[in-house]
Structure 1
Amino acid sequence: MAAPTSAPALPDLAGDVVALTAAVCDIPSVSGDERALADAIEAALRGHPHLEVLRDGDAVVARTRLGRERRVVVAGHIDTVPIASNLPTRRVRAEDGAEELWGRGTVDMKGGVAVALHLAAVLREPRWDVTWVFYDHEEVASALNGLGRLVRNHPDWLAGDLAVLGEPTAGGIEGGCNGTLRAEIRTTGRTAHSARGWRGVNAIHAAGEVLDRLNAYEASDVDVDGLVFREGLNAVGITGGIAANMIPDSCVVTVNYRFAPSLDPAGAEAHVRQVFEGFDVTVTDLAGGARPGLDDPLVQGFVEAVTAVTGGAPGPKYGWTDVARFAELGIPAVNFGPGDPMLAHADDERCDVEQIRTCARALQAWLA
């Protein structure tokens, strides 16, 4: 499918990767509104005859067909959270002298997208065949996720021996990811007029036991393939009450459990139900994590090549990322990209421009 001629143009993909990052960011692509950026990416990639370009909705895939023994996948999402008066991008000199690119998406994760676009253009004969994936709808409900849609519609497009997800890692390697579970813990009571509260049973008061168990809960640090994943179980919401003069008969505490990838989704659910034994527990969202896979020879080669450029050692990814989708396909996957994840989604989102260049050099050293 050819990209519409009205697609906004990106600069030369083989040019300056920081200028490319700014251009990618300056095409707004809040989740659900990625079409213009997807069109621009497709049009730019079609200008490089060494790439086969495919499209599904607002996900664009480009791949080499060199007949190499191995194939790697480099992927990144093109959507962002809503803009907060932080576009267009601007370059700022920080107090320590570093140059930063400010604006929505500079961290999460258009720096990683720009690195992938740049390398897709310049690496005409990489050491392995490469599939470059640019997908939509990552920042919203998982059922809408563009990578998940590709898994369902075109699993052959994602075939590979190793996947690199360009999520922000401050230029370090983060292996695997935690799983995540959300559940509603419900308490019930009996309504009454608050002037005669003794005639009712207060469901909000009953939720105190739920909060007591959370306060007493001791999260675990779990070693998985040599990386220590930090777990957590926390209340993230509470609802209840009918009117200001009524005893409430229902209260719901929403909890989020972040669990190490040594535990499968069924085990995570069983653990949460055990913690809240005696309460009505409804699981509303559950996604397994991904093991780091650092014992895989191809992953080891990636770590060696990248750390030779960036320094440091691999660490765990505490949050959930789409590396878990690759893990479900049996593909080892790591997170690696520019940008401090602590600044993701922030109004002052910004990325050190040298980090963008360093990530591009490191990936190129591995793939060239």
Structure 2
Amino acid sequence: MIDPSEGPVALTRQLCDIPSVSGDERAIADAVERLLAERAPHLSVHRDGDTIVARTELGRARRVAIAGHLDTVPINDNLPVRDIVDDVSGEAMIWGRGTVDMKAGVAVQLALAVELAEPAVDVTWIWYDHEEVSSALSGLGRAMRNAPELFEADFAILGEPTNGRIEGGCNGTLRARVHYAGKRAHSARAWMGVNAIHRAGAALSKLAAFEPARIVVDGLEYREGLNAVRIDGGVAGNVIPDDCSIEVNYRFAPSRTPEEAADVVRVFFDDADSVEIVDSAAGARPGLDAPLAQGFAAAVGGDPTAKLGWTDVSRFSALGIPAVNFGPGDPLLAHADDERVPVAQIDAGYAGLRAWLERGA
């Protein structure tokens, strides 16, 4: 059972202590659905697998979608959560898996969903499964395909950890497999073959020397990255390898399309025998030129920055909905075994989002 009556900080602890590793979100989704049925009669609730969409239907002129994922990466002796005091800052914190990514953000959203029966804008609250795994499994993507009408909105907020500041848009991401061919031979007579691993060496040196581009998009600076993340090759300890493949990950600015990003990778590896695009996902422009985004930025304060990773704001952007990331927690601690979120950031995020929703966004 979860109970938001003691506020979003207590609710964060409760949510984190429900194990919800990707693929095992049923228990937490059941708890969220049960809470909404018992405490939020002002919301129409829809469920798609372990994704829950709860909407106000007040006939307001504008609608905001506010979303967060329910799953976490695997637990590593870091549940149940516990309260700690940071050794350096002296801040009160909640330590444990999911505190940063992103149960604190979910707690803020869930508390407000229950409490705000008549926000000044209509709100679509979304909690979804399978964010921490392949994008093909995304509960948000699945629900958007199954019932796109539930996701119509003028602006969207994703509660990913941002240290309580707005991060606009997100980088795109692409994975490619770069192949180098050779010719097998006995290693005692290496001159009779062509070593595919050696052929790939020049590409690895080129990658090591790569300087990431910094690209300004709508006033925010995005930093790109191109890195080898896996390498495969070799037949046996006495055989010259005839094949070597390097898997690379390209993080590209949202000013590029996935097709343009693929062209960048192909040109970079122009000496390869083939470049196979394994998967890709578009980025999202900052979205801060939308009137609702400007009002939100003014309400929560601080200077917006670029989201350098990929997040599900991209899915909203693909629907033509401007979207930003905003949530408690340091994104550098996401997935770390010592995840910990400042209590003050949870309270501040809750207060800022509540005030904005109550006064007319």
Report the CA distance between 1:294 and its aligned residue: 1.2
C-alpha separation between the residues in 2 aligned to 1:287 and 1:224? 18
Matches within 5 A, 1:104-183: 104-183=97-176
Report the CA distance between 1:106 and its aligned residue: 0.2
Report the CA distance between 1:15 and its aligned residue: 2.6
Name the SS of the counterpart of 1:195 in structure 2: helix
Q: Do structure 1's residue 245 and structure 2's residue 235 form an aligned pair?
A: no
Report the CA distance between 1:60 and its aligned residue: 0.8
Q: Which residue of 1 aligns with 2:282?
A: 288
Q: Which residue of 2 aligns with 1:363?
A: 353
Q: Which residue of 2 aligns with 1:80?
A: 72
Q: Do structure 1's residue 29 and structure 2's residue 20 form an aligned pair?
A: yes
C-alpha separation between the residues in 2 aligned to 1:109 and 1:273? 35
C-alpha separation between the residues in 2 aligned to 1:17 and 1:213? 48
Opposite residue 228 of structure 2, the aligned amino acid is A
Q: Which moves more between the two structures, 141-150 or 241-250?
A: 241-250
Report the CA distance between 1:213 and its aligned residue: 2.4
Q: Which residue of 2 aligns with 1:10?
A: 2
Which deviations, in whole Å up to 9, do the C-alpha atoms of 1:308-366 show, x marking residues without a partner? xxxx2100000000000000000000000001011100111111111111111110111
Q: Answer whether contact 1:14 1:119 (CA < 8 A) is retained.
A: no
Which deviations, in whole Å up to 9, do the C-alpha atoms of 1:63-82 show, x marking residues without a partner? 11111000000000000000
Q: 1:98 aligns with which of 91, 97, 106?
A: 91
Opposite residue 233 of structure 2, the aligned amino acid is G
C-alpha separation between the residues in 2 aligned to 1:329 and 1:190? 48
Q: 1:38 aligns with which of 29, 41, 53?
A: 29
Report the CA distance between 1:93 and its aligned residue: 1.5
Opposite residue 92 of structure 1, the aligned amino acid is I
Which deviations, in whole Å up to 9, do the C-alpha atoms of 1:117-164 show, x marking residues without a partner? 000011111010001000000000111000100111011111100000
Q: Do structure 1's residue 193 and structure 2's residue 183 form an aligned pair?
A: no
Q: 1:255 aligns with which of 240, 248, 254?
A: 248
Name the SS of the counterpart of 2:6 in structure 1: coil
Name the SS of the counterpart of 1:163 in structure 2: strand
Name the SS of the counterpart of 1:284 in structure 2: strand
Which deviations, in whole Å up to 9, do the C-alpha atoms of 1:12-70 show, x marking residues without a partner? x2432111001000000000000000000000011211111110000011111111000
Q: Which residue of 1 aligns with 2:46?
A: 54
Report the CA distance between 1:200 and its aligned residue: 1.3
Task: Say what the alpha-carbon RMSD is for the aligned residues.
Answer: 0.9
Q: Which residue of 2 aligns with 1:4?
A: none
Q: Which moves more between the two structures, 176-185 or 187-196?
A: 187-196
Q: Answer whether contact 1:79 1:137 (CA < 8 A) is retained.
A: yes
Q: Which residue of 2 aligns with 1:304?
A: 298
Opposite residue 57 of structure 2, the aligned amino acid is R
C-alpha separation between the residues in 2 aligned to 1:192 and 1:277? 26
C-alpha separation between the residues in 2 aligned to 1:143 and 1:294? 28
Q: Answer whether contact 1:100 1:350 (CA < 8 A) is retained.
A: yes
Opposite residue 114 of structure 1, the aligned amino acid is A
Query: Between the two proteins, what is the percent identity of the paired residues?
Result: 61
Calculate the TM-score normalised by the size of structure 1.
Answer: 0.95
Q: Which moves more between the two structures, 210-219 or 30-39?
A: 210-219
Calculate the TM-score normalised by the size of structure 2.
Answer: 0.97
Q: Answer whether contact 1:66 1:129 (CA < 8 A) is retained.
A: yes
Q: Which residue of 2 aligns with 1:209?
A: 202
Which deviations, in whole Å up to 9, do the C-alpha atoms of 1:243-279 show, x marking residues without a partner? 1111111111111111100011111111111111131
Q: Answer whether contact 1:241 1:248 (CA < 8 A) is retained.
A: yes
C-alpha separation between the residues in 2 aligned to 1:86 and 1:256? 29
Opposite residue 125 of structure 1, the aligned amino acid is E
Q: Which residue of 2 aligns with 1:222?
A: 215
Q: Which residue of 2 aligns with 1:5?
A: none
C-alpha separation between the residues in 2 aligned to 1:50 and 1:216? 57
Q: Which residue of 2 aligns with 1:3?
A: none
C-alpha separation between the residues in 2 aligned to 1:199 and 1:65? 74
Q: 1:71 aligns with which of 63, 68, 74?
A: 63
C-alpha separation between the residues in 2 aligned to 1:296 and 1:14? 34
C-alpha separation between the residues in 1 aligned to 2:276 and 2:110? 42
The number of equivalent residue pairs is 355
C-alpha separation between the residues in 1 aligned to 2:249 and 2:230? 9
C-alpha separation between the residues in 1 aligned to 2:289 and 2:139? 29
Opposite residue 120 of structure 2, the aligned amino acid is R
Opposite residue 238 of structure 1, the aligned amino acid is I
Q: 2:325 aligns with which of 335, 356, 364?
A: 335
C-alpha separation between the residues in 2 aligned to 1:143 and 1:90? 34
Name the SS of the counterpart of 2:100 in structure 1: coil
Report the CA distance between 1:236 and its aligned residue: 1.0
C-alpha separation between the residues in 1 aligned to 2:8 and 2:55? 20
Q: Do structure 1's residue 19 and structure 2's residue 10 form an aligned pair?
A: yes
Cα distance change on mapping 1:73 and 1:211 into 2, 3 Å:
same
C-alpha separation between the residues in 1 aligned to 2:185 and 2:161? 52
Q: Answer whether contact 1:231 1:257 (CA < 8 A) is retained.
A: yes
